[in-house]
Amino acid sequence: MNSNVIPAQALTPQFTLATEHTFIANASANLLAQERCCDAFTLLSETDNQHMFIAEYFGCNRKRIIESLIEAHGVFKEHVLQLDEHNSPVWQQAHPTKTLLAAKLHKFHYLSGTIRKADLVGRYNVETNEYKPGLLASCHYLFICADSLWKRETLWDLLLEILDKQRYQVHSRFIELPLNCKIVLIGSSHQYGSCWLGEPSFSRHFPLLGELVNEVDLAEHSISNYCDWLAGILTEQQLQLENDALSLLLRFCSKLADHQMRLSLMATNIEHLLAQAKAYGRSSLITLNALTHSIAKLNQRHNASERLSEQNFDDLFINLPTQDEVVGQINGLTVVENAEFSYGEPARITASVHYGDGEVADIERKSELGGNIHAKGMMILSACLYRIFGKDAPLHLNANIVFEQSYQEIDGDSASLAEYCCLISAIAEKPINQSLAATGAIDQFGNVQAIGGVNEKIEGFFKLCKRRGLTGNQGVIIPCSNMQQLNLHQDVIDAVTEGLFSIYQVKHIDEAVEILMQLPAGTADEDNQFPDESLYGLVQSRLESLAGYQEEEASLFARLLDKFKFSS
């Protein structure tokens, strides 16, 4: 068996679950892997005049995070705001007197949407001399949505002013009140960075950053810990999971994290999926069939652009062969990303070579359809080619490489492996097996490096091959370093198991060209010469002929003289 072939069991994450697992929902489980945020929140409770910023991630359930932080790490002192003997308002841990102004009635409150000044500082009625405390006075912890606050610039300035003075004015006819509340802003890491640099006083008042992570590393936390985190979602939605459905849900969460050893904490995505599975199955007990159907329908609702792309291939509007052999042509793999959905789309890459001054031209770049990262990948490809074949003399060829039938911008360096193999094929005039597709980035030393969207790319080429009929010769070449991201659809796994489709992993460009062209790449000797019958030997021979270095073939008369000459 080819050592580059990836076995079927490595194509999806493998989770070991207890036969019977009891879900335990609690605040600590809801804060799984959020050690940084918990540490910052603990410091918030134990320090004076230091407030906190929670940097969340997409798919975070704010409500559950806030409630869990309060339950697990909140500190609540029975403070009351009253007038002292000098008629000055002070916060004290004492029994209220007749001069009571406010008391800590709420553990926390969360403000979002339309925020008013009165929500923060309260109201004062001049006619009745009645003061109604705001949230700064009645809450131990006040959580505020950063976006909502920044939409009201005057309130943002007011909050910073309050934090500067540690006091605030409810009304011009009412005394200033001392601040005794912990402020927690919730927003993005980008917002925190912008405020840190743009607001001089922000760094003084919000030194505590609690950055939430969006995934669990199974090297640090167990599957049981993660199941307890899932219990918070199940308990809130009053759902139960069958064991088989739990295994599928774990694979779904692993796919969200894009890693076999990590599981996603994007709670809202999981909540939506389970709610849809409940609706499809018409039961609060989520079965494997209901969850499988829910995942399939989730993809179907978002794959309209993918179906249009597939039709273009099926109607042969896009020319991309998946059989036979062609010189200077290879199937590359791309990912099309929408806001909420991404899918793989094969792309035909071609290369042509001719005598020239050594330029490897990127037609995408010249036509302004190639991004900067793609241009960088092409430069690395050229450097790699020169490292192997241009050590002793300049290369006397020009090459043109292009994504055929591509009419939008292409960026990224994940096609550089395929482009390199295509260029080698064109120079050596050795055909490439069109049943295979390749993806991977390369460095100047020929090492194949990881790329993004590996699952989408594999599945995109597999779907095309399946629609045309699986032959057993089709497959995909990926970087070895992407194996830990593999989380493929069951159809792909079944096809690999049955020997109808293959996935190869490579660490170096030499392995890729050998798989694609079924010829040893060859190893250079001390004079940097490759064996004549090797692939690189053919490349070297072609390059030498373009440069005019090869010895001219002797004439018939010269060969006869050489044959019959006598030694003296």
pLDDT digits (tens, 9 = 90+) for 12-67: 999 988 766 677 889 999 999 999 999 999 999 999 999 999 999 999 999 999 99
Asked if residue 567 has pLDDT above 50, the reply is: no
Q: Using one digit for the tens of pLDDT, what is the confidence trace for 64-102? A: 999 999 999 999 988 899 887 778 889 988 666 667 889
The residues near 412 (Cβ < 8 Å, ≥ 6 apart) are 371, 373, 374, 377, 451, 452
Question: What average pLDDT does range 160-181 have in this prediction?
Answer: 94
Active-site residue flag, 414: yes
Residue 423 Cα distances to 247, 351, 360, angstroms? 44, 6, 9
Alpha helices in 25-145, H assignment, sequence order: 27-30, 35-46, 62-73, 117-121, 135-138
Select which of 264, 414, 416, 502 is catalytic. 414
pLDDT the model gives residue 93: 82
pLDDT band at 568 (very low <50, low <70, confident <90, very high): very low
pLDDT the model gives residue 200: 87
Structure tokens at 193: 């960075």
pLDDT the model gives residue 288: 96
pLDDT the model gives residue 343: 95
Secondary element (H or E) of residue 269: helix 267-281
User: What DSSP line would sit under 291-317, residue for residue?
Assistant: HHHHHHHHHHHH-HHHHHHHHHHHTTS
Q: For the chain, what is the radius of gyration of the CA atoms? A: 33
Backbone angles phi, psi at 481, to 5 degrees: -70, -5
Active-site residue flag, 457: yes
Q: What string of H, E and C letters represents the secondary structure of 115-134?
A: CCHHHHHEEEECCCCEEEEC
Annotate 492-511 with b (16+ C-beta within 10 A) or e (fewer).
bbebbeeebbbbbbbbbbbb
- Beta strands, E only, 439-493: 441-442, 448-449, 475-479
Among the residue ranges 191-195, 350-354, 540-544, 553-557, the one predicted with the least confidence is: 553-557
**Are 447 and 507 spatial neighbours (Cβ–Cβ below 8 Å)?**
yes
Of 189, 338, 335, 213, residue with least CA distance to 263: 213
Asked if residue 291 has pLDDT above 90, the reply is: yes
- Beta strands, E only, 274-418: 285-286, 325-326, 329-337, 342-355, 360-362, 397-403
Among the residue ranges 8-17, 47-56, 283-292, 559-568, the one predicted with the least confidence is: 559-568
CA–CA gap between residue 481 and residue 448 (Å, rounded): 8
Higher per-residue pLDDT: 506 or 524: 506
Q: Is the pTM of this model over 0.85?
A: yes
Secondary element (H or E) of residue 277: helix 267-281
Asked if residue 563 has pLDDT above 70, the reply is: no
Q: Using one digit for the tens of pLDDT, what is the confidence trace for 438-469? A: 999 999 999 999 999 999 999 999 999 999 99
pLDDT the model gives residue 269: 95
Q: Using one digit for the tens of pLDDT, what is the confidence trace for 220-259? A: 999 999 999 999 999 999 999 998 999 999 999 999 999 9
CA–CA gap between residue 202 and residue 196 (Å, rounded): 6
Q: Using one digit for the tens of pLDDT, what is the confidence trace for 375-400? A: 887 888 888 888 888 777 777 788 88
pLDDT the model gives residue 400: 87
Burial class (CB in 10 A: 0-12, 13-18, 19+), 265: buried
pLDDT the model gives residue 243: 87
The residues near 218 (Cβ < 8 Å, ≥ 6 apart) are 226, 261, 262, 263
Higher per-residue pLDDT: 253 or 363: 253
For the chain, give the percent of residues with pLDDT over 70. Answer: 92
Beta strand pairing status for 215-217 and 262-264? antiparallel
Select which of 182, 457, 463, 502 is catalytic. 457
